[in-house]
Amino acid sequence: MAYKCIVLDHDDTVVDSTATVHYPAFLAYMDQYKGGTDISLKEYFTYNFHPGVLPFFQDIVGLNEKEMEEEERFWRAYVAEHIPAPYPGMAEILWEFRRAGGLICVSSHSYSDYIRRDYQTGGLPEPDRIYGWELPAQQRKPDPWSVLQVLGDFHLASEEVLVLDDLKPGYDMARAAGVPFAAAAWAGDYPDIQEFMKENSDYYLDKVENLRKIIL
């Protein structure tokens, strides 16, 4: 294997979730509490890439602290009832990597209970570690804390670990931890994201199948 461990983002990397779950949840919240929104799916994706999810809700959508808590409760209830599917081919690749002895870890801005549920219902191998949104803010992506935990817990060298993510916080986390980074670019056609990832990633993967080529 080229890598002993992969640290995976979850949404729009392993499961097709923004277009099918998170964006519809955002629209439903905005309709119910804020009189709607004209933010498109493409804009929603791009804002989550940069400046990131918290600045997006706070600075662009304009939610205050109380509204942020309200939106999170609404989102959690919506996600509890809507399960995203893995991208075609993802389960087969991850199982092949696991059978070859590879470690699978997850560092995500989703909650660990939803990630675990999505893996189970999607027929994916159970992750060895999950670092989710329930962590203290200073330990979430883009902070390298989760990757550094993986390196220490499994006694791995930096070149033995690969981070796979579709957004800039994952890239920033990988660079801060000193490990290679692969861009998952199969969620859709988003030029701002694609341009940055093509220029800065160690691997730019526009198809799920291309993941197999670099980890096995």
At the fourth CATH level, which superfamily is domain 5-16+88-215?
HAD superfamily/HAD-like (3.40.50.1000)
Please tell me the pTM assigned to this model: 0.91
* Helix, strand, or coil (residue 170): helix
Which pLDDT value is given to residue 52?
83
CA 165 to CA 103: how far, in whole Å? 16
pLDDT tens per residue across span 163-213:
999 999 999 999 999 999 999 999 988 888 899 999 999 999 999 999 999
| Opening angle at CA 111, ends 42 and 207, nearest 5 | 45
48 falls in which pLDDT band (50, 70, 90)?
confident
Which pLDDT value is given to residue 86?
98
Mean pLDDT for the stretch of residues 70-93? 96
What is the separation, in whole angstroms, between the first and last Cα of the chain? 5
CA 201 to CA 176: how far, in whole Å? 13
> Which helix (H) or strand (E) element contains residue 203?
strand 203-205
Structure tokens at 111: 């909650």
- List the beta bridge partners of residue 134: none
**Domain range summary for the chain, segments of one domain joined by +:** 5-16+88-215, 18-81
